[in-house]
Amino acid sequence: MSSWSVLRSIQNADRVNEHRVRKGVSRRIVRFAGPYRRDIAVFLLTVVLAAGIGVATPLLAGEVINAITAGGSGAAGAVVRIALVIAGLAVADALLSLAQRWYSARIGEGIILDLRTRVYDHVQRMPLQFFARTQTGALVSRLNNDVVGAQRAFTSTLSGVVSNVIQLALTAAVMFTLSWQITALSLLLLPVFIVPARRVGKRLAEITRESYDLDAKMNATMTERFNVSGALLVKLFGRPDNEAARFGERASRVRDIGVQQAMYSRTFFVAMLLVASLAQALTYGLGGWLAVRGNVSAGTVVTLALLLTRLYGPLTALSNVRVDVMSALVSFDRVFEVLDLKPGIAEKPDAVPVPAGSGRIEFRDVRFRYPSADQVSLATLEDVSTLDRTEQEEVLTGLDFTVEPGQMVALVGPSGAGKSTTSMLVSRVYDVTGGTVLVGGVDVRDATLESLRDTVGVVTQDSHLFHETIADNLRYARPGATEEQMWEALTGARIAALVRALPDGLDTVVGERGYRFSGGEKQRLAIARLLLKQPSIVILDEATAHLDSESEAAVQRALAEALRGRTALVIAHRLSTIREADQILVLDKGRIVERGRHEELIGAGGLYASLYRTQFTEAVI
Ligand SMILES: Nc1ncnc2c1ncn2[C@@H]1O[C@H](COP(=O)(O)OP(=O)(O)O)[C@@H](O)[C@H]1O
Ligand SMILES: [Mg+2]
């Protein structure tokens, strides 16, 4: 399609420009536009028709003048007939403009939809590391601003290029045919305008980019400071004045930019209008002079003057098109950049399900290092110029152990030993970098994600509940759960009485702006969520670590229910739990240094014995 070649040529011209867009971006844009081929074709047709009408009307106006100056008996009738045609064209033009907007909006909004859903879907599949590193606000603004910016490539910029080129070509052709002398002269003023106009356009683009950046920064600040923990920190350290000052600084820069932007664009517009009006005056003067001498007709002068306004508009628009297209391409590129990030965990096409009810976990010489920053993130999302490439240290250096079905295995060790990391490898939050993790005899990398999630249930230190109703949160584990099943799970988790006492019961909204559950209550809700899923393997990562002893006791009772009849891998600090374990694995610096039962390990007098003295807390019940 010709429009694409226009775009490509512009982009090629810009390869030499300072803002480098990665190769192949325009090809990818074309692929994105593929589903809209027919809409685009119809849209282009309306553009051509509208350009035709735009030229026809001034021509007809000239005819009216000529009919008037010619006089004679038929003149009155001719004038009325022409006026009627002009009216008809005006109606057609109005309809065309509506159709044009309809199609361009459909194409533009459709592309926004595609990009947004693609990016959202992609981002949620990123490894956990990615979310730990990126600033949420920057990510959100990428999903909003850049997607919208990218869309402009299609609607305003691209359609602008096409319609302006067509309008310009048609108008110029007609004008030169009518009188090349007048046309040439009136175009003399153009360079006077275009050279500074390009400057202004470039500056405008720079300002716009800066304002995007600042917007993203303000967003990031707000999302960081306006959540409960951020707000609490500000209060505890008594820094609201500093925070306000910092925010005010950024916000006032946004104001300055807004003012500059307004003035630059108005200056641009006024200058264009002025030059077009001056050129029109020139046409009237020169054309009128020629008409009086009889070289051209009066109608031609009027036609030329009217056409002139249709010439300057597109010319100025096209003079800045490079910058527009560039910023649109940059936006697309920023979106593609996110789409190109390698997703974390993907299911193999020939994945097999973990056998239902599997209870066996096996680690074979498992090694693991966390991915380095440049593997999982983007510098532009972290507010840094380059990402760290240095390889992370190996966190697990060869783990071998088996948890037999129905067993409870306790994982103990000093902080930073790799216990949480080990637990995350079972549910495949990360993939091992060496060795194999098997669940139910299946390498987790060969298993379908759904069957793995169904088999393995996890409760961590700070369980997260979405800002939704209790029922919604529970159904997250099992979408089809009935109310009865939910009450059963809540009862098992020892939280049913509390939920029943709430005025809205299961429909109580949880979270920052909803009902605030205490840490222990949240843990028990998380356990209810896990019970609803009925996994055959349960992993507990210090599920009671952050609780006071009273709520710990309650959670402990709920956990006893959760563990009954299931295989369990428990990272614990409570002696009573560890004592009950069929096997204790003592982890230090990423390797198992001791294994056995409580008495044996105490007797051995190694790391376990010293942990026993210093870290393990006594039973509270
Ligand atoms: N997301 C992460 N990225 C990089 N390193 C990590 C990450 N999480 C943990 N680590 C490192 O891995 C090691 C083991 O951490 P972890 O498994 O959380 O230990 P534990 O749960 O035994 O306290 C620590 O040295 C820690 O700094
Ligand atoms: Mg941990």
Q: What is the pLDDT of residues 53-112, one digit of tens each?
A: 988 988 888 888 888 888 788 888 888 888 999 999 999 999 998 998 898 888 888 888
Question: Which ligand lies nearest the alpha carbon of 546?
Answer: 2
Continuous segment of H or E residues that includes residue 584: strand 583-588
Specify the higher pLDDT residue, 128 or 390. Answer: 128
pTM above the 0.95 mark? Answer: no
Question: Counting beta carbons within 10 angstroms of the beta carbon of residue 241, is it exposed (0 to 12), middle (13 to 18) or buried (19 or more)?
Answer: exposed
Q: Please write the tens of the pLDDT for every residue from 353-391.
A: 999 888 899 999 999 998 877 777 776 666 666 666 667
Whole-number Å distance, alpha carbon 221 to ligand 1 midpoint, is 27
Query: Which residue, by CA, sits nearest to atom 16 of ligand 1?
Result: 418
Closest CA to 320 of 269, 260, 276, 273: 269
132 Cα nearest atom in ligand 1? 1
Residue 439 is predicted with a pLDDT of: 93
Least trusted range by pLDDT, from 474-488, 546-560, 561-575, 577-591: 546-560
Q: Please write the tens of the pLDDT for every residue from 258-282.
A: 898 888 878 877 877 788 888 888 8
Question: Which ligand lies nearest the alpha carbon of 369?
Answer: 1
Least trusted range by pLDDT, from 12-21, 25-34, 345-354, 411-420: 12-21
Mean pLDDT over 466-492 rounds to 90
Query: Which residue, by CA, sits nearest to atom 3 of ligand 1?
Result: 370
Residue 9 is predicted with a pLDDT of: 36
User: Does residue 587 register a pLDDT over 90?
Assistant: yes
Residue 307 contacts residue 58 (beta carbons within 8 Å): yes
Lookup result for tokens 């054309």 = 287
Query: Which residue, by CA, sits nearest to atom 14 of ligand 1?
Result: 418
Mean pLDDT over 226-253 rounds to 83
Least trusted range by pLDDT, from 127-136, 320-329, 339-348: 320-329
Residue 408 contacts residue 582 (beta carbons within 8 Å): yes
Whole-number Å distance, alpha carbon 465 to ligand 1 midpoint, is 23
Residue 170 is predicted with a pLDDT of: 87
Q: How far apart are the first and last CA of the chain?
A: 76
How far apart CA 545 and CA 217 sit, in angstroms, is 35
Whole-number Å distance, alpha carbon 415 to ligand 2 midpoint, is 7
Residue 10 is predicted with a pLDDT of: 37
Whole-number Å distance, alpha carbon 413 to ligand 2 midpoint, is 10
Whole-number Å distance, alpha carbon 53 to ligand 1 midpoint, is 69
128 Cα nearest atom in ligand 1? 1
CATH 3.40.50.300-classified regions of the chain: 361-373+392-620
User: Does residue 18 register a pLDDT over 50?
Assistant: no
CATH 1.20.1560.10-classified regions of the chain: 3-339
Mean pLDDT over 177-182 rounds to 83
Residue 271 is predicted with a pLDDT of: 79
Percent of the chain past pLDDT 90, that is, above it, reads 18
Specify the higher pLDDT residue, 35 or 380. Answer: 35
Q: Please write the tens of the pLDDT for every residue from 285-305.
A: 888 888 888 888 888 888 888
How far apart CA 16 and CA 540 sit, in angstroms, is 57
Q: Please write the tens of the pLDDT for every residue from 590-609.
A: 999 999 998 888 888 888 88
CA distances (Å), origin 322, targets 77, 266, 440: 49, 20, 59
Per DSSP, the three-state class of 538 is strand
Question: Which ligand lies nearest the alpha carbon of 388?
Answer: 1
The residues near 49 (Cβ < 8 Å, ≥ 6 apart) are 92, 96
Residue 94 is predicted with a pLDDT of: 94
- What is the band of 618 on the pLDDT scale with cuts at 50, 70, 90? low
Average pLDDT, the chain: 82
What CATH number belongs to 3-339?
1.20.1560.10
Question: Counting beta carbons within 10 angstroms of the beta carbon of residue 262, is it exposed (0 to 12), middle (13 to 18) or buried (19 or more)?
Answer: exposed
- What is the band of 20 on the pLDDT scale with cuts at 50, 70, 90? low
Q: Please write the tens of the pLDDT for every residue from 424-433.
A: 999 888 889 9
At the fourth CATH level, the homologous superfamily of domain 361-373+392-620 is P-loop containing nucleotide triphosphate hydrolases (3.40.50.300)
User: Does residue 619 register a pLDDT over 60?
Assistant: no
How far apart CA 455 and CA 568 sit, in angstroms, is 12
Mean pLDDT over 302-322 rounds to 78
Task: Name all residues whose Cβ lies below 6 A of ligand 1.
Answer: 129, 132, 370, 392, 395, 413, 415-421
Per DSSP, the three-state class of 293 is coil
Continuous segment of H or E residues that includes residue 59: helix 37-70
Whole-number Å distance, alpha carbon 575 to ligand 2 midpoint, is 17
Number of neighbours of residue 341 by Cβ within 10 angstroms: 18
Q: Please write the tens of the pLDDT for every residue from 147-169.
A: 887 777 667 766 778 888 888 88
Mean pLDDT over 390-417 rounds to 89
Whole-number Å distance, alpha carbon 591 to ligand 2 midpoint, is 15
For ligand 2, a single-atom ion, which residues have Cβ within 5 Å? 420
- What is the band of 436 on the pLDDT scale with cuts at 50, 70, 90? very high
- What is the band of 142 on the pLDDT scale with cuts at 50, 70, 90? confident
Question: Which ligand lies nearest the alpha carbon of 460?
Answer: 2
Residues facing residue 366 across a β-bridge: 399
Residue 19 is predicted with a pLDDT of: 47
Least trusted range by pLDDT, from 64-68, 198-202, 305-309: 198-202
Residue to mutate (ligand 1; options 387, 395, 589; most atoms within 8 A of CB) = 395
Residue 561 contacts residue 493 (beta carbons within 8 Å): yes
- What is the band of 11 on the pLDDT scale with cuts at 50, 70, 90? very low
Question: Which ligand lies nearest the alpha carbon of 413?
Answer: 1
- What is the band of 617 on the pLDDT scale with cuts at 50, 70, 90? low
Query: Which residue, by CA, sits nearest to atom 7 of ligand 1?
Result: 370
User: Does residue 13 register a pLDDT over 70?
Assistant: no
Residue 509 contacts residue 466 (beta carbons within 8 Å): no
Report the largest interatomic distance among the alpha carbons of the chain, rounded to a whole angstrom. 125
